[in-house]
Amino acid sequence: MNMHSTKQTDIQIDHILKHNQLSVTDSRKKILELFLQSNGALAHGDIEKKTGEKFDRVTVYRTLQVFMEKGIIHTIPTADNAVRYALCKDECTEGHHHDNHVHFVCNACGNTICLEEVHVPEVKLPKGFQPTEVQMIVSGICKECH
């Protein structure tokens, strides 16, 4: 039963990598799998822990870097100097991201969650400021911890 449930994910993982012209390697598969399984965003450290001794730290760095470049994941800035990463929706491409959604950081469980359905509201800037991207990070208590 475990074999069946993973199979569907495996196909998905394979597709994401090939679609982005990346060779399908163990580390990339495993890290993508982690993102797909996780309901929240992951910090570099989280991935290192979850992969254990499986891969070198350097490989994790480089994999995240490549995923970023390809638009497979996006970053979520945090106040604790530990940027989180989360999967992008399909529409995201190398240059152009479509993730103008709000992020929630739970102060209880520490989870960082993409609120895909909550759009970042517009904001009027003073004369001369030309915005290209807007990040909105809400912290508090998440649904689970409430």
Partner DNA sequence: AAATTATTTGCAACAAAGTTGCAGAATATT
Partner DNA sequence: AATATTCTGCAACTTTGTTGCAAATAATTT
Q: Which residues bind Mn ion (CB under 5 A)?
A: 86, 114
Residue 41 contacts Zn ion per CB under 5 A: no
When binding is defined by CB under 8 A, the residue of 2, 5, 39, 81 that contacts a copy of itself is 81
- The single residue among 36, 37, 45, 91 that binds DNA, judged by CB under 7 A, is 45
Task: Collapse the DSSP code of 91 into the 3-class scheme (helix H, G, I; strand E, B; otherwise coil) and give the result.
Answer: coil
Do residues 100 and 121 make contact, with C-beta atoms less than 8 angstroms apart?
A: no
Q: Does 142 bind Zn ion (CB under 5 A)?
A: yes
Binding partner of 63, given Mn ion, a copy of itself, DNA, none, CB within 5-8 angstroms per partner class: DNA
Is-contact 44 36, C-beta < 8 A? Answer: no
CB 41 within 8 A of CB 83: no
Distance, CA of 127 to CA of 144 (rounded, Å): 42
* List of residues contacting DNA (CB under 7 A): 22-28, 44-45, 54-59, 61-63, 66, 81-82
